[in-house]
């Protein structure tokens, strides 16, 4: 997978060299290219923003540099990339959405700042407008790091143990329960005896029970019977093609 990131703060993306995403890059499963939007400005001040038409607070990102960047980076035709705009007014990011993006050959992330990017850029280029949740970040950079990490670990050949992905919270549709390692007793607290029993059926039953109890307490919405099964087939009308509806 190829990922282009366009931003006015390229330094935000230093962490891409680290940990799991860095490993994906080293292994050649992923290549990331961070571009400074100001490289596509024409004026001596390298201006990327201007006042909003109609008035109001803040500034809007001018269309010209984005248009030039996307014209250069996004090939047309059959190999057209997904062009992702992180924005609090986008579609909510979740595990199925990460799986969907992980199937793409080429992703381009456009990190907006200020009040957002001129709508004509979105209308012409965006395939996906994505929100991480109901709060506001000052720009798309941190959201892109989160999305790239969620996607990179789903790439084929990425996480050593495929089962650890299948068991993840949200892949199962439930939160994961507690985990323990040595020592048996620490700070006056014991590891639950069942985990040391060697009884695999009892351990599996305990984990399911812990997972359900935690989900009931913290995220009862995940147990709503009307909610589609994340492991099941995509019901009509909720697949990736209708995400921007």
Residues known to be catalytic:
88, 115, 153, 168
Alpha carbon distance 60, 47 (integer Å): 11
Detail the DSSP E strand segments found in the chain.
2-7, 31-36, 49-50, 60-61, 82-92, 106-110, 128-131, 185-186, 189-190
Does the footprint of ligand 6GU cover residue 6 (CB under 6 A)? no
Does the footprint of ligand 6GU cover residue 210 (CB under 6 A)? no
Alpha carbon distance 181, 217 (integer Å): 24
Q: Which of 37, 69, 70, 132 binds ligand 6GU (CB under 6 A)?
A: 132
Cα–Cα nearest to 216, from 178, 179, 175: 175
Does the footprint of ligand 6GU cover residue 135 (CB under 6 A)? yes
**91 to 130: interface string for ligand 6GU, x by CB under 6 A:** ---------------------------------------x
The answer for 237, left when phi > 0, alpha when psi is -120 to 50, beta otherwise, is left
Does the footprint of ligand 6GU cover residue 133 (CB under 6 A)? yes
Does the footprint of ligand 6GU cover residue 131 (CB under 6 A)? yes
- Nearer to ligand 6GU by Cβ, of 15 and 133: the residue is 133
Shortest Cβ 104–ligand 6GU spacing (Å): 17
Does the footprint of ligand 6GU cover residue 53 (CB under 6 A)? no
# chain residues binding ligand 6GU, by CB under 6 A = 13
- Nearer to ligand 6GU by Cβ, of 8 and 132: the residue is 132
Using the structure block, give the residue that is written with the tokens 């939007």.
Answer: 37
Cα–Cα nearest to 133, from 77, 176, 88: 88
Q: Which two tokens stand for residue 204?
A: 């599996």
- Nearer to ligand 6GU by Cβ, of 90 and 173: the residue is 90
3-class DSSP assignment, residue 226:
coil
Using the structure block, give the residue that is written with the tokens 């399911």.
Answer: 208
Contacts of 229 (CB under 8 A, 6+ apart): 173
Q: Which two tokens stand for residue 144?
A: 């892109």
**63 to 92: interface string for ligand 6GU, x by CB under 6 A:** -----------------------xxx----
Q: Where do contacts with ligand 6GU occur on this chain (CB under 6 A)?
A: 86-88, 130-133, 135-137, 139-140, 143
């Amino acid at each position: 997978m190829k990922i282009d990131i366009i931003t006015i703060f390229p330094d935000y993306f230093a962490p891409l060299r680290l940990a799991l995403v860095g490993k994906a890059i080293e292994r050649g499963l992923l290549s990331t290219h961070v571009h400074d939007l100001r490289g596509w400005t024409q004026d001596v001040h390298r201006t990327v923003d201007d006042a909003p038409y109609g008035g109001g607070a803040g500034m809007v990102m001018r269309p010209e540099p984005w248009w030039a960047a996307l014209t250069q980076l996004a090939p047309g035709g059959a190999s057209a990339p997904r062009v992702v705009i992180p924005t609090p007014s986008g579609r909510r990011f979740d595990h199925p959405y990460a799986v969907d993006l992980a199937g793409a050959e080429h992703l381009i992330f456009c990190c907006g700042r200020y009040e957002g990017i001129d709508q004509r850029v979105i209308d012409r280029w965006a395939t996906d407008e994505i929100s991480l949740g109901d709060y506001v970040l000052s720009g798309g950079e941190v959201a892109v790091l989160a999305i790239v990490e969620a996607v990179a670990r789903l790439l084929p050949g990425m996480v050593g143990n495929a089962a650890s992905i299948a068991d993840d919270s949200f892949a199962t549709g439930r939160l994961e329960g507690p985990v323990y390692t040595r020592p048996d007793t620490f700070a006056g607290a014991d590891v639950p005896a069942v985990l040391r029993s060697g009884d695999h059926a009892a351990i599996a039953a305990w984990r399911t029970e812990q997972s359900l109890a935690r989900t009931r307490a913290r995220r009862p919405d995940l147990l709503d019977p009307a909610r589609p099964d994340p492991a099941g087939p995509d019901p009509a009308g909720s697949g990736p093609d209708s995400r921007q509806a």
